[in-house]
Amino acid sequence: MRVVHLVPALFGSAGIFGGAERYALELARHMAERVPTRLVTFGESAQETRIGRLDVRVIANAWHVRGQRTNPLSAAILTAILKADVVHCHQRHVLMSSVAAAACRVTGKRVFATELGGGGWDISAYISTDRWFAGHLHISEYSRNVYGHAANPRAHVILGGVDTGRFCPDEATRRGTTPLFVGRVLPHKGIADLIAALPDEMSLDVVGPAPELLSPVFKKGKLAMRAEGSNIRTGARLLLTGAGLSGTERFPLSLNAAGTKWTVGRRVESAPHGLLLSTAILPGATVTAVVENPDGAQSRPTTITS
């Protein structure tokens, strides 16, 4: 039996330091001790490596659905699926998992999904894809209930699992009484609830990377950026550099009336009479776009060709 695990990003500096990514890697690594197993994921550089008995393939040049970094897709996953007997998709509500499930149904492969708190634009927002999967493997009873699978006979709890040999306390380290949170600083992690529950005399240490800003996304020459999960703050600006521009041109960003999308203001700060985004970029020119928050934090750059 050959097993393939599909996950949007690899755990580590080349991907994301996240619980979902760690879980997928550790599960695949330990499964490789029992059966031939391959972890297929996405990154900036193509790579094939081996971690113990686990084969790891990183697919480069993926299409990021609607510019969502954690929603990559590439036809290369079909090759991996065809070579597998069983496919395990980590994060069901991404297009990668829906495409994989459809491919497995056509080719007669067994496919399973695990919900790990992530997601993006996917067909599952419009139709239920529950039955596309042979089973749903949850890390807790809470997860099974939250995702509406409490009465689903094909939904099972397999638990999270921890490698106690690698992740264990150092007995030589002196311990204090201050709680410690280590992870990505995101709203759904419940840090605000933890802070609210702390006694007045107790402090809290929070350690994690700064939230990453959503990179600029353009459709038909217009900015198309959702507000939810973008980490963009009021007062942010769109910075453009490239051919035909006088240095860095700055466009103010503002929310639409519904508060769901970011829109570009008409005035470029360096132009006294204002300038439209559509006229700032010369026909055929290539420019680089970056979102910058008021605190100076910037998104990854996006290249635009007019």
pLDDT tens-place string over residues 258-295: 778 888 765 555 544 445 555 556 666 677 888 998 88
Average pLDDT score over residue span 20-30: 94
Listed by start position, the domains of the chain span 3-157, 170-209, 218-305
- Cα(first)–Cα(last) distance of the chain, in Å? 49
The fold of the 3-157 domain, in CATH, is Rossmann fold (3.40.50)
Mean pLDDT taken over the chain: 86
Residue 142, pLDDT > 70, answer: yes
Q: How sure is the predictor about 212, in pLDDT bands with cuts at 50, 70 and 90?
A: confident
Q: Average pLDDT of 104-115?
A: 96
pLDDT at 136: 97
Q: What is the CATH number of domain 218-305?
A: 2.60.40
Is residue 109 scored above 70 in pLDDT?
yes
Model pLDDT, residue 146 = 86
Q: Is the pTM of this model over 0.75?
A: no
Q: For residue 272, what pLDDT is reported?
A: 47
Instruction: Calculate mean pLDDT across residues 2-21.
Output: 91
Q: Higher pLDDT residue, 1 or 279?
A: 1
58 pLDDT above the threshold of 90: yes
Task: Quote the percentage of the chain above a pLDDT of 90.
Answer: 48
When pLDDT is averaged across residues 51-62 and rounded to a whole number, the result is: 95
Q: Which range (1-15, 112-126, 246-260) has the least confidence?
A: 246-260
How much of the chain, in percent, has pLDDT values that exceed 70? Answer: 89
Cα gap 156→148, rounded to integer Å: 12
- At residue 277, the pLDDT reads 59
Lowest mean pLDDT among 23-37, 42-56, 187-201: 187-201
pLDDT at residue 278, as a whole number: 58
Write the pLDDT tens digit of every residue in 84-93. Answer: 999 999 999 9
Which pLDDT belongs to residue 273?
A: 47
